């Protein structure tokens, strides 16, 4: 199993980060992708991924749309310069990161024009490097496809996909894969289940989005990569497939899309 989206660098894991990685490995997780949230955390994230590289931890570098209004003065300069795409590309290359992101649009967060400028810079960096983009789109599916189309072809993944069934062919045409997190396992899940049934097998990925979006049986608590089997069980139930076969499939997809593990 490969967890294609987990924020193991955040404060929620400060007390037991090594144990979290060990539990995931014991549960059968062989790869982790930890996407960055903001520039000031990049150095620590790069060091963390290097320290746990033998366990399959990799990183992506980017600026999360939800952090845009809270970017500090030392980060704003980097985020607002005209050559942001080049800066991101250079940082990704120097870090040996396997993807660009987390990046995207969040309609529930302010400063959408600035979000869009930063999102476009990430897409350009990903295209320059030939690397996938790790994309967050929430309450912004009316705008995200247009931006992706304008910025041109690239590979990437819509993490914790929330766009519903109708947008699956739209994002598929744009070259993106679809990742599912804990909500696919919830008994009242409807939109993610309907979408999951339509997605081609070679575009499916799974994640925990740790520490958020814990799967059924752990809701209200901290999510972590060791809970990935519960996410896979929910996705397998939605698609009427065998969880073990789906675990192998999504791991193969992750290795292909991210050229890692």
**107-156 pLDDT tens trace:** 999 999 999 999 999 999 999 999 999 999 999 999 999 999 999 989 99
* Domains identified in the chain and CATH numbers: 2-258 (3.20.20.140)
- Bridge partners, 204 (sequence order): 178
73 confidence band (pLDDT: 50, 70, 90): confident
Percent of the chain with pLDDT over 90: 95
Q: Is 240 exposed, middle or buried (0-12, 13-18, 19+ CB in 10 A)?
A: exposed
Task: Look at residue 181 in the predicted model and tell me its pLDDT.
Answer: 98
pLDDT tens digits, one per residue of 85-101: 999 999 999 999 999 99
Task: Look at residue 124 in the predicted model and tell me its pLDDT.
Answer: 97
Task: Look at residue 74 in the predicted model and tell me its pLDDT.
Answer: 84
Task: Look at residue 31 in the predicted model and tell me its pLDDT.
Answer: 98
| pTM for this predicted structure | 0.97
Task: Look at residue 231 in the predicted model and tell me its pLDDT.
Answer: 98
pLDDT reading at 27 higher than 90 = yes
Distances, alpha carbon 91 to alpha carbons 31, 98, 102, 253, in Å: 22, 11, 14, 26
Compute the distance between CA of residue 227 and CA of residue 82 in angstroms, rounded to an integer: 41
pLDDT reading at 76 higher than 90 = no
Compute the distance between CA of residue 139 and CA of residue 57 in angstroms, rounded to an integer: 30
Compute the distance between CA of residue 199 and CA of residue 203 in angstroms, rounded to an integer: 7
**Residue environment code for 118-154, b if the CB has 16+ CB neighbours within 10 A, otherwise e:** bbbbbbbbbbbbebbbbbbbbebbebbbebbeebeeb
Task: Look at residue 77 in the predicted model and tell me its pLDDT.
Answer: 75
Host H or E run for residue 123 = helix 112-129
pLDDT tens digits, one per residue of 175-217: 999 999 999 999 999 999 999 999 999 999 999 999 999 999 9
Task: Look at residue 79 in the predicted model and tell me its pLDDT.
Answer: 76
pLDDT reading at 81 higher than 90 = no
Task: Look at residue 193 in the predicted model and tell me its pLDDT.
Answer: 97
248 confidence band (pLDDT: 50, 70, 90): very high
The stretch 22-43 carries a mean pLDDT of 98
Task: Look at residue 80 in the predicted model and tell me its pLDDT.
Answer: 73
Evaluate the omega torsion of the peptide bond into residue 211 and state whether it is cis, within 30 degrees of 0: yes
Instruction: Provide the CA 61 distance to its chain's centre, in angstroms.
Output: 11
What mean pLDDT is reported for the chain? 96
Compute the distance between CA of residue 207 and CA of residue 209 in angstroms, rounded to an integer: 6
């Amino acid at each position: 199993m490969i967890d294609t989206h987990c924020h193991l660098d955040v404060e929620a894991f400060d007390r037991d980060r090594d144990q979290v990685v060990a539990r995931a490995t014991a549960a059968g997780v062989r790869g982790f992708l930890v996407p960055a949230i903001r520039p000031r955390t990049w150095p620590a994230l790069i060091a963390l991924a290097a320290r746990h590289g033998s366990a399959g931890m990799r990183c992506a570098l980017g600026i999360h749309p939800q952090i845009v209004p809270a970017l500090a003065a030392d980060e704003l300069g980097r985020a607002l310069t005209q050559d942001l795409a080049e800066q991101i590309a250079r940082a990704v290359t120097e870090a040996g990161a396997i993807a660009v992101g987390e990046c995207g649009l969040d309609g529930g967060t302010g400063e959408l024009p600035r979000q869009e400028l930063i999102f476009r810079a990430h897409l350009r960096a990903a295209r320059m490097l030939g690397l996938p983009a790790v994309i967050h789109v929430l309450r912004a599916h009316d705008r995200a496809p247009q931006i992706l189309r304008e910025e041109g072809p690239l590979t990437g993944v819509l993490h914790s996909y929330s766009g519903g069934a109708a947008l699956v062919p739209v994002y598929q045409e744009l070259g993106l894969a679809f990742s599912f997190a804990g909500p696919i396992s919830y008994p009242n899940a409807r939109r993610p289940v309907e979408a999951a049934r339509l997605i081609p097998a070679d575009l499916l990925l799974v994640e925990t989005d740790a520490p958020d979006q814990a799967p059924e049986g752990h809701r209200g608590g901290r999510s972590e990569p060791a809970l990935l089997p519960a996410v896979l069980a929910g996705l397998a139930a939605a698609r009427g497939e065998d969880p073990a076969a789906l675990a192998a499939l999504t791991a193969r997809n992750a290795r292909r899309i991210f050229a890692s593990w």
